[in-house]
Amino acid sequence: MMIATTDLAQPNPVCVGVDVGQIHDPSAVAVAEVVRVHTGKYRYGKQYHIPAHIDANLIFHKPQDAEPVMRSRYIVRHIRRLPLGTSYPKVALDIADMLCNTMFAHREVRVLIDVTGVGRPVYDDLKIEIELREETRHIQLKPITFSHGEKYNHSTGVLAKAFLVSRLQSLLQGECVDGPDIPEMKATVEELRVYEIKVSDDGKDTYGATIGKHDDLATALGLACLEDPYSERVSDSVRVY
Distance CA 157, CA 140 (A): 13
Q: pLDDT tens, 77-89?
A: 999 999 988 999 9
Q: Which of residues 58 and 97 earns the better pLDDT score? A: 97
Whether the pLDDT of residue 126 is over 80: the answer is yes
**pLDDT tens digits, 160-216:** 988 998 899 899 889 999 999 999 999 988 888 777 555 455 555 555 554 445 789
| Residue percentage of the chain with pLDDT more than 70 | 79
Backbone angles phi, psi at 35, to 5 degrees: -115, 165
pLDDT at 142 over 70: yes
The answer on pLDDT for 55 being more than 90 is no
Average pLDDT over residues 119-145: 96
The pLDDT score that the predictor gives to residue 32 is 97
Q: What are phi and psi of 217, to 5 degrees?
A: -65, -45
Residue 146 reports pLDDT greater than 50? yes
- The backbone torsions φ and ψ at residue 7, rounded to the nearest 5 degrees and listed phi first, read -60, 135
| Domain over 14-36+73-230 is classified CATH 3.30.420.240 | yes
Q: Encode pLDDT of 1-32 as tens digits.
A: 444 444 445 799 999 999 998 877 899 999 99
Q: What is the pLDDT of residue 6?
A: 45
Mean pLDDT, rounded, of the chain:
84
**What are the extents of the domains in the chain?**
14-36+73-230
- The reported pLDDT for the residue numbered 193 is 79
Report the pLDDT value the prediction gives residue 10, as an integer from 0 to 100. Answer: 77
Predicted confidence (pLDDT) at residue 240 exceeds the cutoff of 50: no
Strands 60-61 and 158-160: unpaired
- Quote the pTM value: 0.81
- pLDDT score, position 46: 59
